[in-house]
Chain A
């Protein structure tokens, strides 16, 4: 089927089989391999991207369901020279070890901060309920999200 969607600001028109998952479209067709696949069954959150600004598990969205919409992946939020504040905070707080969960964590964490609710240790942990990390024990991830939340609020003022 023919599909047009915008990924990280670039419009793509593609011809894909109807059973293509958004993860496959991103990783295989567009070679955006920053979106990771951990479980393929909506449990782990490694595949989290933004679809029209909301975080979704891309392994559980059909490419067809993203037709006409806007997708943002980890490649679209910053660059090595100009990290997004959430990426910078993850680096500064040592919030990753193997890094497999990190792209999904970061995209969900950005939405959590942008939603504007009051954040503390408990609300960040609840907010990241859908993202599993096998390395860090979450402690430094929570620290990073709280630090980035401060930076993002300062920048938006």
Chain B
């Protein structure tokens, strides 16, 4: 790994200022994407700004139909949180399905969303649960956030502070994990907001997206069969050694149907 300067700011403002003044800086959250990239010398930032310990990025709270999760929340903390389990069990299950135990003990929700890996799990939830991404300078709606492969609406130096999820009447997440890494070959979250259904898809295309035709079909008739002929999202489906584009397209429909079946069966 190339040398770098390590900083551990104690306030959000200090972190942003360090980023502004450094030559080629990067924020460090759980490090489970950034550090392997650096050990492989695919990235060589001049300065690492550690976000651990920033009070503005911690905490989980459920209030007034919103579940708010601090950006530094590790996947294991989200999976074990009583607030998450009580209001959004589907999100707790999603967090528990990320990678492996050691990855969940380090990786954070903010890091995952800033990175926007096409196969990451959280994007499906952010889109299905109409989340609002709070940063040091503004709020970004889920529908405006994901822009392309590893590309988001975040500006240079912008820090995600927390994510506010709308709490649905019920939701279910189904993923087809890559057998080696557990990343989502494809993953679908279906969320029912009193009859209005949102469907978030990950793993399938360059970044997370909604399946609008699935949403219309399920809002009209909340039944897996309603998706038999519904149109797939109009995206470039990924094709790689794990799955062809055709197979991923097939998975998106099947996973949406499985999630719908679970959601309907839930008490």
Q: What residues make up the interface of A, taking CB atoms closer than 8 Å to B?
A: 1, 17-19, 21, 40-43, 45, 48, 51, 54-57, 59-62, 64-65, 108, 111-112, 127, 129-131
Cα A111 to Cα B31 with chains together (Å): 21
Knowing A18-B4, A18-B6, A65-B50, the reply to whether A130 touches B40 (Cβ < 8 A) is: no
How close is A115's CB to chain B, nearest CB, in angstroms?
Answer: 9
Cα A84 to Cα B50 with chains together (Å): 35
Cα A130 to Cα B105 with chains together (Å): 11
CB nearest neighbor in A for B182: A129
Knowing A60-B35, A65-B50, the reply to whether A45 touches B4 (Cβ < 8 A) is: no
Knowing A40-B39, A42-B32, A54-B76, the reply to whether A17 touches B102 (Cβ < 8 A) is: no
Task: Tally the A-B contacts, defined by beta carbons under 8 Å.
Answer: 77
How close is B42's CB to chain A, nearest CB, in angstroms?
Answer: 11
| CB <8 Å contact, B99 and A21 | no
| CB <8 Å contact, B31 and A45 | no
In the complex, chain B residues whose CB is within 8 Å of the CB of A40: 39
What are 13 A-B contacts with C-beta separation under 8 Å?
A19-B2, A41-B39, A45-B100, A55-B102, A61-B31, A61-B35, A62-B35, A62-B48, A64-B6, A65-B28, A129-B182, A130-B99, A130-B102
In the complex, chain B residues whose CB is within 8 Å of the CB of A43: 180-181
In the complex, chain B residues whose CB is within 8 Å of the CB of A57: 102-103, 106
Which residue of A54, A60, A64, A129 contacts B36 across the interface (Cβ within 8 Å)? A60
Residue of A40, A41, A57, A111 with most chain B CB atoms under a 10 A cut-off: A57
In the complex, chain A residues whose CB is within 8 Å of the CB of B48: 18, 62
Cα A112 to Cα B40 with chains together (Å): 30
Cα A48 to Cα B106 with chains together (Å): 12
Which residue of B4, B36, B102 contacts A19 across the interface (Cβ within 8 Å)? B4
The interface size bin for chain B is 20 to 34
Cα A129 to Cα B76 with chains together (Å): 14
In the complex, chain A residues whose CB is within 8 Å of the CB of B99: 129-130
Question: Mask for B170-214, Cβ within 8 A of A = 1, else 0?
Answer: 000000000011100000000000000000000000000000000
In the complex, chain A residues whose CB is within 8 Å of the CB of B50: 64-65
How close is B199's CB to chain A, nearest CB, in angstroms?
Answer: 27
Cα A1 to Cα B7 with chains together (Å): 11
How close is A61's CB to chain B, nearest CB, in angstroms?
Answer: 7
In the complex, chain B residues whose CB is within 8 Å of the CB of A18: 3-6, 48
| CB <8 Å contact, B39 and A59 | yes
In the complex, chain B residues whose CB is within 8 Å of the CB of A59: 39
Which residue of A21, A41, A54 contacts B105 across the interface (Cβ within 8 Å)? A54
CB nearest neighbor in B for A49: B102
Beyond A18-B3, A55-B101, 10 additional contacts (C-beta under 8 Å) are A18-B5, A18-B6, A19-B3, A21-B39, A54-B76, A56-B106, A60-B32, A65-B50, A127-B101, A130-B99
Cα A57 to Cα B36 with chains together (Å): 11
Knowing A48-B102, A56-B102, the reply to whether A65 touches B39 (Cβ < 8 A) is: no
How close is A31's CB to chain B, nearest CB, in angstroms?
Answer: 21
Cα A61 to Cα B103 with chains together (Å): 11
Cα A7 to Cα B101 with chains together (Å): 22
| CB <8 Å contact, A19 and B100 | no
How close is B33's CB to chain A, nearest CB, in angstroms?
Answer: 9
| CB <8 Å contact, A19 and B105 | no
Cα A86 to Cα B152 with chains together (Å): 45
Cα A51 to Cα B101 with chains together (Å): 13
In the complex, chain A residues whose CB is within 8 Å of the CB of B1: 19, 21
